[in-house]
Structure 1
């Protein structure tokens, strides 16, 4: 029996690697998306997905938020790190770099070990579980936010500063929103710094302690839940090579066809009044201001009630 032919996914991997080696796909250039692989090679979506996963595992490509799956930069010659030089901090920082550029789904002990040039088992002596590693990653990047020694005047300005800086942090680290939980809050020192800032801003206005806590958690959950779109969008672009604007342009005709049928008259009337350009930053800003408006009304009502004679 002669040698068995390579499976389809491996033949496609070999071809894309050839294009990279020949310079047809330069570092930073987008590689064919799963959809394009299906179209060009006539394979199933599962096969196309395996192609990109294999190329990522081999280090030929990386997934970058906002760019999709691109050819990896030529790696610098890495001097293998002796296990004696390995530290918990170096592991955490390597994991953050991988999650920032390739997404949280790419985070695996084997991938981190490759990044550091050590054996995979060496990592477990410093970080026994992946869940522990993710928590340390979260705490590390949460510490990137610095608060002014003198807070801005007024509770609203203080909460707006906190929420805006959290939003910027989630944008820089798209995986972070998934790593944090509201229903099972993690006891992270740097996360408690954020809580301290919010609670201090809300305290002293006559609000009950439970109201202060709910207001603090609601604000954090608003920022976090909106920021979940960063990682989802990065994953979507990596799989389709379409930006959010390209995706909207492709699907708008379907939306307008549905509207034209007359089933949604109010929605159609609003859309007909002018162009609506959706931007996630504007959505965040709009929601934040309305949320703070509500807090303002709550504080005003509480103050008025306290001022009433018994």
Structure 2
């Protein structure tokens, strides 16, 4: 009996060969394949991995898996070319385009065109790989040698820089832990920057202020990967998805039990995570400014 993943491969291969899916077109995501074919996530992943090995599809950051150009050939990496840095960077590319769940030692090896066991000579396993990925992305935007003047300006600069990093790597927020923090060599300068800006607070207040700011940025960013996955799977933007929910909302609101919510919806306010981030950041900085500089009596 033919394995289900081979049937998926055959169907997608046919659609590519017959031009139904053209170079650059998105192919169904692993989640979509599980829904359409009634298979497990591992089966869907294996199907897409097979197509990548054949050079028919490729991963694109922020988009997902797309049909590859006909002239493109899969990359090949010799053992001599393989390094920890290269493995980590390829893993980051996969996570950026398809989410952290798509990262595995086998998948990274496939992208590099090498044997899975070759990776273990450089990195012990997936847990260590994710930790290295998390540390590496903090090098994307180095902190300046000289911070801006003023506590508020320094914290605002740091939070905006971190938000840009989270934006670039939507999986990052879920890989960081507040209660069991990882020791990240490239993340420590961020910690030092924040604690230096909060000089003047008692040690406990300083720690809590630092964690509150960090978790605010991380908390907003937790939504990024889920939204990217939803948009890849459904093809709908957040606004388009909300439009599909209007009939259901009407059932809840027509009875008049939630007048404030109904009034808010009538204003048709655009919802943007960047604006939520900016609004919350300014309110937090207002509070920390008052904490560090008590009002005059």
Which of 175, 179, 182 pairs up with 1:183?
Answer: 179
The alignment status of 1:290 with 2:283, answered yes or no, reads: yes
8 Å CA contact retained: 2:9, 2:48:
no
**What is the DSSP-based 3-state SS (H/G/I as helix, E as strand, rest coil) of the residue aligned with 1:70?**
strand
The alignment status of 1:202 with 2:198, answered yes or no, reads: yes
The Cα offsets for residues 22-52 of structure 1, whole Å up to 9 and x where unpaired, read as 33212221335689879xxxx8663396775
**What is the DSSP-based 3-state SS (H/G/I as helix, E as strand, rest coil) of the residue aligned with 1:128?**
coil
**Normalising by the residue count of structure 1, what TM-score does the alignment of the two structures yield?**
0.84
The alignment status of 1:148 with 2:144, answered yes or no, reads: yes
Alpha-carbon distance change, 64 to 282 in structure 1, aligned in 2, over 3 angstroms:
farther
Q: Could you tell me how far apart the structure 1 residues matched to 2:29 and 2:22 are?
A: 16
The Cα offsets for residues 171-219 of structure 1, whole Å up to 9 and x where unpaired, read as 111111111111111111111110011111111xx31111111111111
The alignment status of 1:31 with 2:27, answered yes or no, reads: yes
Q: Which moved more, 1:238-247 or 1:114-123?
A: 238-247
**What is the DSSP-based 3-state SS (H/G/I as helix, E as strand, rest coil) of the residue aligned with 1:237?**
helix
Q: Aligned-pair distance for 1:257?
A: 2.8
Q: Could you tell me how far apart the structure 2 residues matched to 1:16 and 1:214 are?
A: 52
The alignment status of 1:229 with 2:223, answered yes or no, reads: yes
**What is the DSSP-based 3-state SS (H/G/I as helix, E as strand, rest coil) of the residue aligned with 2:186?**
helix
Alpha-carbon distance change, 32 to 187 in structure 1, aligned in 2, over 3 angstroms:
closer
Alpha-carbon distance change, 280 to 133 in structure 1, aligned in 2, over 3 angstroms:
same
Corresponding position of 1:159 = 155
8 Å CA contact retained: 1:162, 1:194:
yes
Corresponding position of 2:252 = 258
The alignment status of 1:116 with 2:112, answered yes or no, reads: yes
Q: Could you tell me how far apart the structure 1 residues matched to 2:71 and 2:172 are?
A: 26
The Cα offsets for residues 59-112 of structure 1, whole Å up to 9 and x where unpaired, read as 244565654553345574356332233211111111111111221111111111
Please, which runs of 5 or more residues in structure 2 have no aligned partner?
none
Which of 270, 273, 277 pairs up with 1:277?
Answer: 270
Q: Could you tell me how far apart the structure 2 residues matched to 1:283 and 1:126 are?
A: 41
Q: Aligned-pair distance for 1:267?
A: 1.7
8 Å CA contact retained: 1:175, 1:231:
yes
8 Å CA contact retained: 1:68, 1:237:
no
8 Å CA contact retained: 1:56, 1:62:
no
Alpha-carbon distance change, 240 to 133 in structure 1, aligned in 2, over 3 angstroms:
same
Which of 93, 96, 106 pairs up with 1:97?
Answer: 93
Q: Could you tell me how far apart the structure 1 residues matched to 2:128 and 2:33 are?
A: 37
Structure of greater Rg: 1
What is the CA RMSD across the aligned residues, in angstroms?
Answer: 2.7
Which of 216, 219, 241 pairs up with 2:235?
Answer: 241
Q: State the structure with bigger RCO (CA 8 A, min sep 6), 1 or 2.
A: 1
Q: Aligned-pair distance for 1:126?
A: 0.9
Q: Aligned-pair distance for 1:300?
A: 2.5
**Normalising by the residue count of structure 2, what TM-score does the alignment of the two structures yield?**
0.87
